[in-house]
Amino acid sequence: MATTAQPKIHPNKEAFIEGVDHILAKWTALGLAVEHGWGGRETQEKREDMVDDIVQYFDDTVNSKKKPEPLDLQDLLLEIMELDFHVDLKDESEKEVAVVLCKLFAECKSGNFATVDRLAAERDAREALGQGNAAVKMSQAAARPAGVEGDDSDSDSDSGSDSEDSDADMEED
């Protein structure tokens, strides 16, 4: 019996997705929105969708031959926070989050996963101290592509898959 395996995503993009999730996990405004269910019954799903929306923003921007800009990204972050979580950010934290996400993208695109590794280590330290957020933990598990476990030791790319086109933006130039 043949099974259809999910195409592997490029390791650079996989690291970026993980990094986006870590950055969002540290964003106080979003953490409060998730913790208090400000997005309604689907708050957790909206948080997971936010990771997807951010990754899609970078995919679309690069595919249109543009450079991702924090100003454009902060508009997206504001929109998601307002529409999905009913949060009107007064602290302008979306600006800092947008800058950090753009830097992370550039790092991951070049194959530098130092920030992702550091963020993962910080998360592991928080969880070891019992300070992990259950909603964020669920989101991190859900953000992994289908068939990908928490162990990142198997990160070789699959040549000839359909995922190469959508992951081309994350490959080293």
pLDDT tens digit sequence for 99-114: 999 999 999 999 999 9
Question: Is residue 51 in some structural domain?
Answer: yes
**71, two tokens:** 């100003």
Report the number of distinct structural domains present in the chain.
1
- Residue 27 to residue 17: CA distance in whole angstroms: 16
Question: Is residue 169 in some structural domain?
Answer: no
Question: Is residue 68 in some structural domain?
Answer: yes
Neighbours of 125 (CB within 10 A): 11
**Predicted TM-score (pTM) of this structure:** 0.73
**Is residue 135 predicted with pLDDT exceeding 60?**
no
Q: Which of 47, 105, 104 is nearest to 77 (CA)?
A: 47
Which of 87-91, 125-129, 169-173 is predicted with the least confidence, judged by mean pLDDT?
169-173
Give me the domain span that covers residue 116: 11-143
Alpha helices in 64-154 (DSSP H): 70-85, 93-109, 114-128, 134-143
Q: Are 29 and 89 in contact (CB under 8 A)?
A: yes
Question: Is residue 24 in some structural domain?
Answer: yes
Question: Is residue 33 in some structural domain?
Answer: yes
